[in-house]
Amino acid sequence: MHAVVYHGPGDKRWEEVPDPTIVDDTDAIVRVEAVTICGTDLHILKGDVPTVTDGRVLGHEAVGTVEQVGAGVKNVAVGDRVLVSCISACGRCDYCRRASYGQCRGGGGWILGHRIDGTQAERVRVPFADTSTYPVPEGVSDEATLMLADIFPTGYEVGVLNGGVTPGATVAVVGAGPIGLAAIVTARLLSPSVIVAVDLADARLEAAERFGATATVNSGRGDAVEQVRAATDGLGVDVAIEAVGVPATFELCAAMVRPGGRVANIGVHGEPATLHLEELWIRNVTITTGLVDTYATPTLLRLVASQ
Ligand SMILES: NC(=O)c1ccc[n+]([C@@H]2O[C@H](COP(=O)([O-])OP(=O)(O)OC[C@H]3O[C@@H](n4cnc5c(N)ncnc54)[C@H](O)[C@@H]3O)[C@@H](O)[C@H]2O)c1
Ligand SMILES: [Zn+2]
Ligand SMILES: [Zn+2]
């Protein structure tokens, strides 16, 4: 089969690789029919994720059809159309029992396109198939379902829910790529009063407006913190969601949060960022980090299917 193979920073190739086979009896082999790329793949290609090594097939999101299942797979059958989650879950370890699947200690977590071969391929081996795939909902397109492999659960869990968005809250989303846009869409479920999108690219800011941002700031033009404060009674935001993954944007989020607020970091970082504790200690600010767990995927699938 063909796959996108990582050969070190800046070097990816579409090349011939062996077909995947069942290794453990809880595996499924899925024929990939829809796949996307994540900002994390871009971080891998920058060299920010050194646990990805030469020869790895990239990709951790897919919709496809099950072609084979191991003898231990109970809920997934050959021919089923499934969403392959970016997070694999053993379902048995202490973290999985707390729905913290991203931190799975039983061989799961974020492994696809990271520690094992991923989905940017014609076929993929999906470990723990029963607890790492979801049936594609009736009447929902492959493309819409695919957004729930990583993008939407990440924006919602790691951005909106970790950030504690509440009705009436003021929110900034720094980075209006797919993840930031998903954070904007799912923040609206909780009725914030203000959502400011911050990005360097006007096209992304236009997309953010279409998805529900109430104000936009191009941080390449002028002082972004001043502009965010101007949009939020001069105080800054209750919730600053970082969806880029570079030191400058984390530091920007910490500078624009109001006293008592929260900074929810989503971005994958490859370099240290400066934490200005000398300014933050007195401001009752909470900072969260997180790898997506995908515990919200069933909820998000219901929301998409109900549209
Ligand atoms: N924590 C998790 O579980 C998790 C899961 C998925 C993705 N991520 C991370 O989320 C981040 C966003 O992912 P994505 O797919 O949307 O990425 P993306 O690269 O498509 O989008 C990033 C956006 O940030 C903007 N940007 C870049 N530098 C900026 C700056 N200095 N100031 C303002 N905006 C800037 C870009 O113009 C772009 O619109 C990435 O770091 C990705 O690795 C984390
Ligand atoms: Zn991802
Ligand atoms: Zn586990």
Q: Which tens digit of pLDDT belongs to each residue from 113-122? A: 999 999 999 9
Atom of ligand 1 nearest to the CA of 175: 24
CA distance 57 to 55: 7
H or E stretch including 50?
none
Beta bridge partners of 173: 197, 241
- Residue 78 CB–ligand 1 contact under 6 Å: no
CA distance 292 to 6: 23
The DSSP result for 215-274, as a single string, is EEEETTSS-HHHHHHHTTTTT-EEEEEE-S-SHHHHHHHHHHEEEEEEEEE-S--SS---
- Residue 153 CB–ligand 1 contact under 6 Å: no
CA of 22 to the centre of ligand 1 (A): 34
Starting from the CA of residue 162, give the closest ligand.
Answer: 1
Atom of ligand 1 nearest to the CA of 290: 1
The closest residue, in CA terms, to atom 41 on ligand 1 is 267
| Mean pLDDT score, 65-83 | 98
Residue at 77: amino acid letter = A
Q: Please give the pLDDT value at position 24.
A: 98
pLDDT in tens, 59-68: 999 999 999 9
Q: Which two tokens stand for residue 50?
A: 């050194």
- In the predicted model, is pLDDT for residue 304 greater than 80? yes
The closest residue, in CA terms, to atom 33 on ligand 1 is 199
Q: How confident is the model at residue 91 (pLDDT cuts 50, 70, 90)?
A: very high
Residue at 130: amino acid letter = D
DSSP reduced 3-state for 3: strand
Q: How confident is the model at residue 97 (pLDDT cuts 50, 70, 90)?
A: very high
Distance in Å from the first CA to the final CA of the chain: 36
How many of the other CB atoms lie within 10 Å of CB of 277? 10
pTM above 0.95, yes or no: yes
- Return the best residue to mutate from 40, 119, 156, 287 for the ligand 1 pocket (most ligand atoms within 8 A of CB): 40
Environment of ion ligand 2 (residues, CB < 5 A): 38, 40, 150
DSSP state of 58: P
Q: How confident is the model at residue 236 (pLDDT cuts 50, 70, 90)?
A: very high
pLDDT in tens, 117-151: 999 999 999 999 999 999 999 999 999 999 999 99
| Mean pLDDT score, 77-90 | 98
Residue 224 contacts residue 232 (beta carbons within 8 Å) = no
Q: Please give the pLDDT value at position 242.
A: 98
- In the predicted model, is pLDDT for residue 307 greater than 80? no
Reading across the β-sheet that carries 56-57, which strands appear in turn?
A: 12-16, 2-6, 56-57
- Residue 249 CB–ligand 1 contact under 6 Å: yes
- Residue 217 CB–ligand 1 contact under 6 Å: no
Q: Please give the pLDDT value at position 76.
A: 98
Environment of ion ligand 3 (residues, CB < 5 A): 90, 93, 96, 104, 106, 108
The distance of Cα 246 from the centroid of its chain, to the nearest Å, equals 16
The DSSP result for 119-176, as a single string, is SSBSEEEESSHHHHEEEPPTT--HHHHHTTTTHHHIIIIIIIITTT--TT-EEEEE--
Report the mean per-residue pLDDT for the chain.
97
Q: Which is nearest to 3 in space by CA: 40, 54, 42, 58? A: 58
- Residue 265 CB–ligand 1 contact under 6 Å: no
Residue 182 contacts residue 155 (beta carbons within 8 Å) = yes
CA distance 187 to 165: 7
CA distance 157 to 164: 10
| Mean pLDDT score, 227-235 | 95
